[in-house]
Every structure is written in C-alpha cells, then in structure tokens.
Chain A
Amino acid sequence: MRGAIAPSALLCAALGLALAFAPRNAWAPSVLALLSTVAALTFVAMPRAWLEGAFLGCWISVITTAGSVQLFAKVTSRAALILAINAGAWSSAVTGLSGSSLDLLKALPWVLILWPASWVARRHGQIPIKVVSSWLTAVAALSIALQLLPVTPGYLPDHME
C-alpha cells in the first residue's frame, strides 16, 4: 500500500514554508484552522473509491502551497488560512483513506518548519526558502506523474507477483 505519511508530511511542510511568508499574527489562526479541519474530517467516512483522487488532490495542494512561496514575496493572512484549511482537508483525506489515521501524528509536526523557515527568511532572505519549496514542487510533480503512469509502479504487485 502507498504510504500516506509522505504526501501529508510534504503538504504540511509546504504549508509551514508558506506560513513563514505570512504575517506572524496569521500563524496561530492558520495552525488552528489546520488542526480543526483535520479533527473534523477524521470522523468523516470517505468512500475507498476516492483514494486516487485524494492522493492527486494532496499532491496538487503541495504544488499550489509551495508555489505560493515561489511566486509571491508575501502570503496574506487570508491566503494562509485558506492554504491551512486546504492542507488539513487533503492530509486527513489521504491518511483516512489509506487506513492509517495515526500517520497524521507523524505528518502534522512538519508544519513547525515555519519557525526555522521564518528565521532563515528574516536573517538570510527568501532565497533558501524558495529553493527548498521548488524541491517540494518537484517531488509532488513526480508523484503525480507516477500516479498517471501506464506501467506498474513499484508499490503495486506486477504480473510476476
């Protein structure tokens, strides 16, 4: 089975990088929004048929969230809130559907990258954060390609198994 930790952890990390570009007073409401969304959706049962869509949505969210860091010099409070709710929704969807809600406990702390990222952005400029966010975008784009791949990905049994 595909692990849900990686996509949700990378999404939380991307959110952390985006929050580092948001005003400080937007941090707490955004993290709260993330946790509330996760808490609310953990109890919602989703059909298994949504699994592929959930992974795809999660990776697209990683690209969107990391892209907001690359494209803009600042993330507004409202945008931070929307990104946080979005991250919470897709993270709980992939972890819930892949049958391992406890994975969220490993993924959510990645949002705390916002503190070191904010420190780096303040002291050394935005360049390092933009470069790191481009790495997240690259991983997400590759993962989407793998999902659409016509050959058997390594995590699925092939005709020999």
Chain B
Amino acid sequence: MTLREKGTGFLHLAGWTAAALLAAALPAAAHPGHGSMSGFAAGVQHPLSGMDHLLAMIAVGLWGAFLGRPLIYVLPVVFPTMMVVGAVLGMFAVPLPPVQIGIALSVLMLGSCVALAISPPIWAACLVVALFAIFHGDAHGKELPSAADPVSYSAGFVLATGLLHVSGIALGSLTARPIGAITTRSFGGLIAIGGAWFLFRAIRT
C-alpha cells in the first residue's frame, strides 16, 4: 500500500466520522438566540452555520482529493494557514474587496474546478485556495475579538473547518471507485450551482 493510499484510507474513515459529527451539530447551529459569541461551541458553529462557508470547505477537500498527492494534504494545510492571514486582516479591519462576493466566488470556482476536473499546477491550486481562504478568514476574524473566550473560539472554528476539509476528502476519495469520478464531479457541480446562487444574492444586495 502506498503512502497516499494509506493517508487517504485513514482520511476516508475520518471523513465519514467527521461528516457524521458535523451533521449532528447542524441542528444546533440552526437554533437561534444563543446570545454572545463565545467559546469552543460558537467557534465550531460558525463555519457550519453558513452554507457558503460550509460548501467552500468541502470543495477544498474534494478538489484536493481529486488532484491527489501532494495537494490532498497541501490544500487542507494552505487553507487554515491563509485563513489565519485573512482573520488577522479582519481583526485589524484592513479593507478587502467585498467579502461576501469573494466567499460566493470561492464556492462557485472551487465547485467548478471539481466539476470540470481542472488539474492546475500545484502552485496555481495553492494560490487559488489561499486567495479564497483570505476571504473566509476575514469573515471569521471580524467576529473573533467579540468572543468571550477567543482561544477556544479559534480552536472551534479551525477544528470545524478542518473536519469539513476531511469530509470533502472523504467524498473525493470516492473517485477511486467505479463511477466515483462522476459522483465526485456531480458533487462539484452542485457546489458550483450553490456558489452561483450565493454570488447572485451577494451582487444583488
């Protein structure tokens, strides 16, 4: 068994576990009125409460799995790293292009990359993911300072983001199975359609 197969095998298992855990958390996320943002639970809730964030994170994992080694693990490392940069920009209120449009574009572009089976060079894939991660980080970062326990909040949202990537990788690992590539690309297509809708809404408002 190759290293890649070993890694994806574990991520596959972990991914389905993560997906189940995240699915279990969704009803709580949909429940309004929890008051101020604070602590680990609020951090976990944040990436799950917005469909645009959620789909983009899954798309990152899905695309990484589709592109294979080394991007299968490089993209999930690049995303949180650059998300931190975005969060810091958000905390310091550094002006960025409209964040909601950036986030919607990320869902559209990443979903399209999976749907169209686009295989760019490693640096280009990293650049695309890094750029979009900044927008997602900015949105998280703007809420972070008001969290009563910012460290736990950060840990929560980084963990939730990571688990969403792992879920995406698990979905992407279906590619190795018969008709798996079509299934994966269909997921990508659905994500891209969602992205187009988010973009339409973001531009309209």
Chain A residues within 8 Å of B, Cβ to Cβ? 2-3, 6-7, 10, 70, 120, 123-128, 130-132, 134-135, 137-139, 141-143, 145-146, 149-155
* Listed stretches B46-54, B152-160, B190-198; interface member: B152-160
User: Chain A contact residues: over half helix, strand or loop, or mixed?
Assistant: helix
Q: Report the bound CA distance from A3 to B72 in whole Å.
A: 35
- Confirm or deny: B24 has a beta carbon within 8 angstroms of a beta carbon on chain A: no
* Listed stretches B103-111, B121-129, B140-148, B175-183; interface member: B140-148
B10 and A155 form a contact (CB under 8 A): no
A14 shortest CB reach to chain B, Å: 13
Residue in chain A with minimal CB distance to B7: A127
Q: Report the bound CA distance from A137 to B155 in whole Å.
A: 10
B84 and A2 form a contact (CB under 8 A): no
Residue in chain A with minimal CB distance to B5: A125
* Listed stretches B25-33, B86-94, B112-120; interface member: B86-94
A159 shortest CB reach to chain B, Å: 14
A128 and B11 form a contact (CB under 8 A): yes
Q: Which of B9, B84, B155 contacts A141 (CB 8 A)?
A: B84
Q: Which of B6, B14, B144, B165 contacts A125 (CB 8 A)?
A: B6
A139 and B150 form a contact (CB under 8 A): no
Contacts of B159 in A (CB 8 A): 135
- Asked, given contacts A125-B3, A125-B7, whether A143 binds B150 with beta carbons under 8 Å apart, the answer is yes
Q: Annotate B128-145 by CB proximity to A: 1 below 8 A, 0 otherwise.
A: 000000000000010011
Q: Report the bound CA distance from A142 to B154 in whole Å.
A: 7
Contacts of B162 in A (CB 8 A): 131-132, 134-135
Q: Give the 3 A-B residue pairs with the shortest CB-CB distance, closest first.
A: A124-B10, A127-B7, A138-B80
- Confirm or deny: B81 has a beta carbon within 8 angstroms of a beta carbon on chain A: yes
A7 shortest CB reach to chain B, Å: 7
B145 and A151 form a contact (CB under 8 A): yes
B91 shortest CB reach to chain A, Å: 6
Contacts of A135 in B (CB 8 A): 80, 158-159, 162
Contacts of B66 in A (CB 8 A): none
Contacts of A131 in B (CB 8 A): 73, 76-77, 162, 165-166
Contacts of B144 in A (CB 8 A): 142, 146
B9 and A124 form a contact (CB under 8 A): yes
Among B6, B147, B152, residue most surrounded by chain A Cβ atoms (within 10 Å): B6
- Confirm or deny: B151 has a beta carbon within 8 angstroms of a beta carbon on chain A: yes
Among A139, A142, A153, residue most surrounded by chain B Cβ atoms (within 10 Å): A142
Contacts of B11 in A (CB 8 A): 127-128
B91 and A134 form a contact (CB under 8 A): no
A138 and B158 form a contact (CB under 8 A): yes
Q: Which of A7, A134, A146 contacts B145 (CB 8 A)?
A: A146
Q: Report the bound CA distance from A37 to B10 in whole Å.
A: 35
B88 and A145 form a contact (CB under 8 A): yes
B10 and A130 form a contact (CB under 8 A): no
Among A3, A126, A145, A150, residue most surrounded by chain B Cβ atoms (within 10 Å): A145
